Chains A and B, each alone.
Chain A
Amino acid sequence: MAKRIITILIWLLLIVSGFVYAVPGVNDLLAEIDEMMDLESDCTAKVKITQQKAGEGVKVYEAIYYLRDRDDAFLIIMTAPEVEKGNGYLKLGDNFWMYRRNTRTFQHINRDESIAGTNAKGGDFENKKLTELYAPALDAGGKEITSQTTLGKIPVYQFELTAKTEDVTYPKVIFWVRQDNYLPLKTEGYSLSGTLMESAYYLKYTKIGGKYLWVQAMFVDEFEKGNKTVVEIQNISLQKIEDHVFTKTYLENLSK
């Protein structure tokens, strides 16, 4: 009888420990990340992009970014380098314009086009939810590809995602998120053929308005070795932004 009780207790222990140490579902993790990082308010910030290209040295770009939460409209005005200063971008509904200070003209551009010649694209500045873009990748047995591991000394959940929509740069992405607060620490983007194209390291986060926002990240070009981009976000404000900011006139005035 005692032996039986011990066996049951061991089984119960195993079951309970299984629940305690089980990796959360990927969809739950994605929902958690979306929830944690969705500012749900307007946002103003200074963005600094330090781009290092093999054989071309280092270029630093600076811009001020305005985001309206209501309709995801955004405005970017370049403040450095000198050749880009005064140029800007305005996304309003389906329209996306590029403003050139030299010619004082607005031009319709595609959201896939580069911002100021950097690796960043217009689409990268849109406020998108992971749950809308990606779904958990499944292995041959139909199970989510997920595991517990460490990144450096930090315990993380590692999971693989596949694109739900065509509206993403990488059809396959692997995430490493902290086990204690689910903040992403690293991602890897893969091409459709399975080649690692880019690694992103989220180096610093800040908590603002009860939400998390990464303020320093490094994007390493795994395809062309030696290229990397560091993005820093500073002077973040969640104050409401007046509607007149998201207009061509305002962008023109800012660039003067």
Chain B
Amino acid sequence: MGLVTRLSWRNLLRQKKRNLFLGIGIGFGMMILVVANSFSHGMVDVLINEVVSYAFGHLVIDGTQGNSYFTMIRDKERIVKIIEENIKPEDLLEINENLGMMGRAVGNGEADNVVVVGVTLEEDEKYFFNDFFTLVDGNFDDYFSTDYEYPVIVSSAMAKSLNVKVHDTIKIRIPMVTGQLQAAKLTVIAIADASNTFMNMVLFMQGYRVKELLGYKPWESASLQVTLRDPLKTAKYYADILHEKLKPGVICVAGKIKQADCLLVAFRHHDQAKEALRAELTIVAGDPEKAWAKRGVMVSKALAQKLGLKVGDRLNYAYQTKFRGIYEEEFTVDAIYDSRTRLGADVLLVNEERIHAIFNSYLPAELQDFLDEDDPLYAALATEWKLLRRSKDSQELQKLYKEERKIKSDQSRFNVITMYEGASDILKLEAVLNLLTMNAVLILFFIILIGVVNTLRMTIKERTREIGTIRAMGMQKRDVRNVFIMETLFLTALSCIAGVTLGIVAIKILGALTFNSTGALSIILKDGHLVFKLSPLSILGNFLLILVIACVTAYFPARRAANLSAVEALRHYE
């Protein structure tokens, strides 16, 4: 084997010019592959870490209500507690509210669309903005100032667009969580160059100020973003756990009608649920159609007798809310029913669509246990929220949201999403880019390898008499074949190593260039630079693939050379 290697190496150096040109071709292809691969990795890294993870969080508990644009979690404390109890402290970095809303801003005679984003920071986190901005004018410290009603940080691009300077006022108009319009005057306390184009249209304000403007109550929250220490390993794991823990309870609220204790139970506005209930209760008075309708209200016979209620009567149901004291709601009795199940007790039975909007605003202090989960009637009862199924990727998530948009209900909805599902299209983008790069490079290599085959054929032709000599001296066919294959492998390996080295140099040069783009290119820039991320594993994979291709390509001409008869080869003359 040592002789074969030495012969291969010697042969490689015998035809320097020819092999040099071939090597340059292979090296150039490898360089392109390294640069393209690192670019796609870098681009996805910027999109995921600079855009998606900040805009989306590693893991999101998304709460929505009806068909509102806004995310809304009515009981922030409860959901935060679930998160904190189920994610190990060492894995949990922070929980943030995703506060943001698109609005219209008017500066000094100029207007533009803006996104008002709330970032809750403590004084000791004042360097937070240095990661995303380079201060141009003003002072980031004023972000915490109470001298201004609404201090705001603006990107240079937006300041230019609105024609404002530090301490100027920007008027904004934004929709509130209620759908009503809100207006406010914001004071520019800092103008800064954004590291990413997405930041250009964002106005940053303290979270509590944005909450106040958008109309969130102190106990409410927008969707909650969870930042994890190692999202790649833990995000999906914790998302599944949180999804399980967010299972909603059945709506059964203890309250009073005319000082008499009773339970308000909500049934699902769904044909199957109503069928199940119809089998278990009998309407003894009133209009069944009205009773089972969207806003239907029924009273058990026992409760009706106790309070002297008749069909058509109005009653006031009062219950203890979690945040707003006692709340009283007026209902009109559509029907009176009798049942041998627990529903036959002192129960006010209402359609869920009659009660969701009320409970969303006036959250009951607590829900009562009413039926066991294995009770056949359990599935017929409405739950405090709807927990959406977990989605595998962005497509499934979009499909799910599209389905949900068709359902008109005031019921709150919860969803647990990781950025790998929510932004799976971006992750797929990397795979698609890599595939495109690989295809382009394979075509390049195909052309180069035609050169390899051609070179080998020429070499074999030139060395036919030499092959005849070494065969006559007793060299085995296999060794002759291996000499040619090894020669090709040496050439390919050296060229690839040179290509990788050149690729790294090219990455360094390209990464150092500054682009002052505000167009589409700026999305993938970080601080005005292209981002490249070397992936040693994929470089190694490509290197091995190219070696295999070179080996396979060299095999057939090498075998032909090995199969030459020694006598015939020695007779050969050019």
Contact = CB atoms under 8 A, between A and B. Distances in A.
A94 B408 contact: yes
Interface stretch (B168-176, B235-243, B339-347, B500-508): B168-176
Given A95-B408, A110-B67, A224-B104, A167 B179 contact: yes
Contact of A224 (B68, B111, B181, B215): B111
A191 B183 contact: yes
A108 B403 CA distance: 10
Contacts of B183: 191, 193, 195, 197, 223
Contacts of A95: 406, 408
B178 interface: yes
With most chain A CB atoms within 10 A of its CB, the pick from B180, B405, B408 is B180
Interface string A164-197: 0011111100000000000000000101110101
Nearest to A169: B181
Contacts of A168: 179-180
Given A112-B69, A197-B173, A171 B106 contact: no
Interface in A127-180: 163, 166-171
A163 B104 contact: no
Contacts of A111: 67
Interface in A83-139: 93-95, 108, 110-112
B406 A170 contact: no
A6 interface: no
Contacts of B405: 108
Contacts of B179: 112, 166-169
Contacts of B67: 110-111
A54 interface: yes
B171 A223 contact: yes
Contact of B106 (A163, A167, A223): A223
Interface residues of B, number: 22
Given A197-B181, A224-B106, A224-B111, A192 B176 contact: yes
Main secondary structure of the interface of B (DSSP, over half): mixed
B182 interface: yes
Contacts of A197: 173, 181, 183
A223 B104 contact: yes
Nearest to A93: B408
Nearest to A121: B179
Contacts of B408: 93-95
A85 B178 CA distance: 32
Nearest to B106: A224
Nearest to B177: A166
Q: By DSSP majority rule, is chain A's interface helix, strand, loop, or mixed? A: loop
B184 interface: yes
B406 A108 contact: yes
B178 A166 contact: yes
B180 A193 contact: no
Interface residues of A, number: 23
Contacts of B106: 223-224
Interface string B114-135: 0000000000000000000000
A94 B179 CA distance: 17
Contacts of B173: 191, 197, 223-224
Nearest to A198: B181
A166 B402 CA distance: 25
B38 to A, nearest CB: 39
Contact of B180 (A54, A108, A169, A195): A169
A170 B181 contact: yes
A191 B104 CA distance: 14
B184 A193 contact: yes
Given A110-B69, A223-B106, A223-B173, A163 B180 contact: yes
Interface string B174-198: 0110111111100000000000000
A247 B458 CA distance: 77
Contacts of A224: 104, 106, 111, 173
Interface string B239-266: 0000000000000000000000000000
A191 to B, nearest CB: 4
A189 B179 CA distance: 14
Nearest to B178: A166
A192 B178 CA distance: 11
Contacts of B171: 195, 223
A170 B179 CA distance: 9
A203 B548 CA distance: 82
Contacts of A192: 176, 180, 182, 215
A189 B184 CA distance: 15
B69 A171 contact: no
A108 B173 CA distance: 26
A187 to B, nearest CB: 14
Interface in A197-225: 197, 223-224
Nearest to A195: B183
A123 to B, nearest CB: 8
A95 B405 CA distance: 10
A94 B180 CA distance: 20
A216 B181 CA distance: 24
A192 B184 CA distance: 10
B544 to A, nearest CB: 47
Contacts of A54: 111
A189 B69 CA distance: 22
B186 to A, nearest CB: 12
A170 B180 contact: yes
B388 to A, nearest CB: 17
A94 B67 CA distance: 11
A193 B68 CA distance: 22
A79 B180 CA distance: 30
A192 B174 CA distance: 11
B412 to A, nearest CB: 16
Interface string B31-71: 00000000000000000000000000000000000011100
A157 B555 CA distance: 99
Interface string A220-256: 0001100000000000000000000000000000000
Nearest to A226: B111
Interface in B403-461: 405-406, 408
A108 B401 CA distance: 11
A100 to B, nearest CB: 15
Interface in B112-162: none
23 contacts: A54-B111, A94-B408, A95-B406, A108-B405, A108-B406, A110-B67, A111-B67, A112-B175, A112-B179, A163-B180, A166-B179, A168-B180, A169-B179, A169-B180, A191-B180, A192-B182, A192-B215, A193-B183, A195-B184, A223-B104, A223-B171, A223-B173, A224-B106
Interface of B: 67-69, 104, 106, 111, 171, 173, 175-176, 178-184, 215, 402, 405-406, 408
3 closest pairs, A vs B, by CB? Answer: A94-B408, A195-B183, A166-B178
